[in-house]
């Protein structure tokens, strides 16, 4: 039987089978950039923010935690581009290091929360029956409490540290991961290839790991990106009201909180952390939107 020797691989197909050829990543991005310029631009912004956070010790002009009482609350000038705070610390350096902690907390809590939720959703959806019924009622209870309030409550009970903060934010995300992945699992469960796997005697774990889980990759990616933005907001809000990371460690939230605790906040102490939160959340959400469109098989989208 003759076969076409050079089968053209489309972008979304390439993403489906990524891992097969790591070389394809660059190609995929180029094609994504061509077809979705807007989303690609914001994806680049996300990339820059992530890079700056990782390279904070190199990029930051100053130590973020060393006070300099000779130049307290100075506005932006040529030596301190973003000005200095009440203890004379460089705001630019604090914003860079603050972004580092904010992103680390957001990303780890989302990996944990959405990961656990996805696992729960997949098991619940695949098992069905009573397991599913009880899980779904539990998730509904969890979803009924607003994320910020739940995280606040947990952070308050567990006490403020990086670990507990991550756990608190992760906990609020479980239900969202579970819901989405469960719905994907419900449709995958009915496919012929899942039945085929059962027909050859595959045990349940095998069907879930090899046949169900890979199909949930695209929705997982979208869930992940959209929720990172929410996690940054929750972290900032907790930092602002003093339930987040304790000073002197900088996060965008506690920088805003510190600035607001003074009678007359200096504009650069509010503006720069606020701007960074806005840009980060916005760029992540817009990039995620584009990614979601590109990965939606019904939209015939291409990366």
Residues 6+ apart with CB under 8 A from 131: 123, 124
Beta bridge partners of 84: 90
- Residue 94 or 211: the one with the smaller Cβ distance to another protein is 211
* DSSP H helical ranges for 159-251: 162-189, 192-199, 204-206, 217-240
Cα 200 to Cα 88: distance, rounded to the nearest angstrom: 69
Q: Which stretch binds another protein (CB under 8 A): 38-46, 102-110, 200-208, 266-274?
A: 200-208
Decide: is 191 part of the binding site for another protein (CB under 8 A).
yes
Q: Which stretch binds another protein (CB under 8 A): 31-39, 148-156, 197-205, 285-293?
A: 197-205
Decide: is 192 part of the binding site for another protein (CB under 8 A).
yes
- The Cβ of residue 203 has, within 10 Å, a number of other Cβ atoms equal to 10
Decide: is 7 part of the binding site for another protein (CB under 8 A).
yes
Q: Which of 22, 201, 205, 263 binds another protein (CB under 8 A)?
A: 201
CB of 26 to another protein, least distance (A): 21
Residues 6+ apart with CB under 8 A from 172: 113, 147, 148, 150, 151, 154, 234
**Contact letters (x/-) for another protein, 125-144, by CB under 8 A?**
--------x-----------
Pair of tokens at residue 112: 């944990």
CB of 189 to another protein, least distance (A): 13
DSSP string of 97-128, one letter each residue: HHHHHHHHHHHHHHHHHHHHHHHHHHHHHHH-
- The Cβ of residue 10 has, within 10 Å, a number of other Cβ atoms equal to 12
Burial class (CB in 10 A: 0-12, 13-18, 19+), 188: buried
- Residue 17 or 51: the one with the smaller Cβ distance to another protein is 17
Return the residues of window 142-171 that contact another protein according to CB under 8 A.
none
Decide: is 1 part of the binding site for another protein (CB under 8 A).
yes
Is residue 224 within 8 A of residue 110, CB to CB? The reply is: yes
Q: Which stretch binds another protein (CB under 8 A): 45-53, 146-154, 205-213, 237-245?
A: 205-213
Decide: is 215 part of the binding site for another protein (CB under 8 A).
yes
Decide: is 16 part of the binding site for another protein (CB under 8 A).
yes
Decide: is 3 part of the binding site for another protein (CB under 8 A).
yes
List contacts with another protein (CB under 8 A): 1, 3, 7, 13, 16-17, 133, 191-193, 195-203, 206, 210-211, 214-215
């Amino acid at each position: 039987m003759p076969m076409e020797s050079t089968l053209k691989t489309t972008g979304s197909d390439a993403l489906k089978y990524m891992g097969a050829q790591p070389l394809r990543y660059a190609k995929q991005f180029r094609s994504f950039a061509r077809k979705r310029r807007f989303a690609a631009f914001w994806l680049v912004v996300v990339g820059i923010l992530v890079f700056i956070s990782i390279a904070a010790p190199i990029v930051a002009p100053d130590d973020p935690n060393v006070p300099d009482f000779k130049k307290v609350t100075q506005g932006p000038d040529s030596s301190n581009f973003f000005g200095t705070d009440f203890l004379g610390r460089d705001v630019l350096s604090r914003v860079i290091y603050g972004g580092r902690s904010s992103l680390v907390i957001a990303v780890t809590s989302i990996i944990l929360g959405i990961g656990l939720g996805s696992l729960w959703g997949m098991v619940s959806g695949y098992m069905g029956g009573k397991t599913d019924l009880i899980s779904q009622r539990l998730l509904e209870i969890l979803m009924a409490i607003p994320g910020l309030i739940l995280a606040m409550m947990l952070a308050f009970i567990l006490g403020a540290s990086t670990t507990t903060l991550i756990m608190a934010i992760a906990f609020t995300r479980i239900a969202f991961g579970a819901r989405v992945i469960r719905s994907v699992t419900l449709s995958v469960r009915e496919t012929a290839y899942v039945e085929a796997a059962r027909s050859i005697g595959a045990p349940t774990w095998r069907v879930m790991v090899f046949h169900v889980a890979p199909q949930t990759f695209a929705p997982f990616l979208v869930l992940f990106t959209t929720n990172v933005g929410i996690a940054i907001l929750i972290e900032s809000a907790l930092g602002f009201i003093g339930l987040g990371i304790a000073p002197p460690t900088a996060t965008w939230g506690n920088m805003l909180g510190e600035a607001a605790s003074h009678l007359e906040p200096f504009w650069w102490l509010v503006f720069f952390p606020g701007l960074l939160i806005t840009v980060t959340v916005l760029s992540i959400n817009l990039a995620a939107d584009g990614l979601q469109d590109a990965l939606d098989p019904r939209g015939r989208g291409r990366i």
